[in-house]
A and B are shown apart, each in its own frame.
Chain A
């Protein structure tokens, strides 16, 4: 089955630092999504990417859809304590029926 490899698995950074995480796949995706999940809650959509090469920002967050359509990265600039949580990438590929394939998640901890 399809798999998304997300890295790093976890990060522990100082407040104010920039963060980068990425996802790679053996399959081509038509859509990449980035979600954040806080404990006890559902994933919240951060950024959606629809075209190869697309670079999209949402406040301090920036994400890119890789040219090969097999990868994506998420950057967080000037991290703050409320950025703490688990970040998931998810992909949709053409021909499927809306089934999102999720990465394993990146756990981010921010030290004030």
Chain B
């Protein structure tokens, strides 16, 4: 999955801590998407961002979760006061200008909550 870079690859947090997941899209891509994957399941959409704008956050939990894609730097998915149920693989994808173009994924961040 050369191009979309996610870090860290693995993140361990204790309940109540904050988790920050970073995503740098492929060069030239200005659309970023975050998905969550539980074991044995497909990916579930969370949020779609363009530079400095949230376009669709219909898949984001209403509390504790936030995302941003600043003018400079990577996109950040932030989970505050993590709970055990937040344990999952979080994937970032990017696409070129049009939202209807194929999305290319990073290798994900595996979040484990102790």
Contact yes or no, B41 A104, CB < 8 A: yes
* A101 (CB) vs chain B CBs: closest residue: B45
Give the shortest distance, in Å, between B56 (CB) and chain A (any CB): 4
Q: A42-B91, A43-B43 are in contact. Are A100 and B104 (CB under 8 A)?
A: no
**CB within 8 Å: A-B pair count:** 70
The digit string for A83-112, where 1 denotes a CB below 8 A from any CB of B, is 000001010100011111111110000000
A-B pairs, 3 with minimum CB distance: A98-B99, A102-B42, A42-B105
CB of B14 closer than 8 Å to a CB of A: no
Q: Which residues in A have some Cβ–Cβ distance to B below 8 Å?
A: 4, 6, 30-31, 33, 35, 40-45, 48, 88, 90, 92, 96-105
Contact yes or no, A103 B55, CB < 8 A: no
Q: Which of the residues B41, B55, B104, B106 comes within 8 Å of A97, measured between beta carbons?
A: B55
20 contacts between A and B (CB under 8 A): A4-B42, A30-B100, A41-B1, A42-B6, A43-B91, A44-B1, A44-B105, A45-B104, A92-B100, A98-B55, A98-B95, A99-B48, A100-B45, A100-B93, A101-B45, A102-B35, A102-B42, A102-B43, A102-B44, A103-B42
* Cα distance A101–B105 in the bound complex, in angstroms: 14
Give the shortest distance, in Å, between A95 (CB) and chain B (any CB): 11
Contact yes or no, A43 B105, CB < 8 A: yes
User: Chain B interface residue count: which class?
Assistant: 20 to 34
Contact yes or no, B102 A88, CB < 8 A: no
A41, A100, A104, A105 — most chain B CB neighbours (10 Å):
A100
Q: A42-B4, A42-B91 are in contact. Are A97 and B108 (CB under 8 A)?
A: no
Contact yes or no, A42 B107, CB < 8 A: yes
* Cα distance A109–B43 in the bound complex, in angstroms: 21
Which residues from B are CB-within-8-Å of A6?
A: 42
